[in-house]
Amino acid sequence: DAGVIQSPRHEVTEMGQEVTLRCKPISGHDYLFWYRQTMMRGLELLIYFNNNVPIDDSGMPEDRFSAKMPNASFSTLKIQPSEPRDSAVYFCASSLALAGNTIYFGEGSWLTVV
Amino acid sequence: QKEVEQNSGPLSVPEGAIASLNCTYSDRGSQSFFWYRQYSGKSPELIMSIYSNGDKEDGRFTAQLNKASQYVSLLIRDSQPSDSATYLCAAFSGGYQKVTFGTGTKLQVIP
């Protein structure tokens, strides 16, 4: 399998612009996660889906962030409008189940908002 | 309070020594524990998981779990420069139904 695929790998955008990050999970994985990683806060869970349904979005920082999973093979994380403090690495990840299962991470989307 | 805590390091050890990485967690309902390794500029990858009190060995790696003390550790024997990375501790909470990561400990193995 190709693993978790994310795009874009790198994005530089101006403050106020909309950013859309995309993810294709590993086929057959029922769980999809969006994480954000910064030096200050480490790896933070933003939201996760089970069978395409959002289960826990308590980590989504504010209404500027939204995530969707229209089908089992695709998810998006959108930031609108973007702000410089959103600059971070955004990881998409997937797993077969929650408890005791390996979480497989994509290579990350490196976002810089100037 | 951070749910999973780690010393950020860096932890420096000479090549061939034992590296000891530690982690504490706050949720007593945590059931499963994981160690992920993250090289600079790369994504985290799982190296060990542990579910029961005691030790679990896999090659040069040993994970240790003490649920009474809410403590997890990772020992790396015969440390190699290629082990230099950030090690993330993670815990799965059945109550919260989520996996929480610590901020990671940076390990430097000096040749």
- pLDDT, tens digit (0-9, with 9 covering 90-100), for A25-50: 999 999 999 999 998 888 999 999 99
Top residue of B51, B88, B99, B106 to mutate, by most chain A CBs within 10 Å, is B99
- Give the span between the Cα atoms of B102 and B100, in whole angstroms: 7
At residue A1, the pLDDT reads 62
Nearest 10 degrees: Cα torsion B35, B29, A36, A101? 50
Q: Where are the beta strands (DSSP E) in chain A?
A: 5-7, 10-13, 19-24, 31-38, 42-50, 53-56, 65-71, 74-79, 88-95, 104-105, 109-113
The helix/strand/coil state of B81 is: helix
What residues contact residue A52 under an 8 Å CB cut-off, 6+ apart? A69, A70, A71, A72
Task: Report yes or no: A86 and A77 within 8 Å, Cβ to Cβ.
Answer: no
Of the pLDDT bands very low, low, confident and very high (cuts 50, 70, 90), residue A92 is very high
What is the number of alpha carbons within 13 Å of residue A18 lying toward its C-beta? 6
Residue (of B26, B28, B36) closest to B104 by Cα position: B36
- Counting residues of chain A whose pLDDT is more than 70, the rounded percentage is 99
Contact B98 A41 (CB under 8 A): no
At residue B50, the pLDDT reads 95
In this prediction, residues B104-108 reach a mean pLDDT of 96
Q: Distance (Å) from the C-alpha of residue B58 to the closest C-alpha of chain A?
A: 16
Cis bond before residue B111 (omega within 30° of 0): no
From chain B, the residues in CB contact with A98 under 8 A are 92, 97-99
Across all residues in chain A, what is the average pLDDT?
A: 94
- Give the span between the Cα atoms of B65 and B76, in whole angstroms: 15
- Give the span between the Cα atoms of A24 and A76, in whole angstroms: 9
Q: Which of the two residues, A35 and A2, has the higher pLDDT score?
A: A35
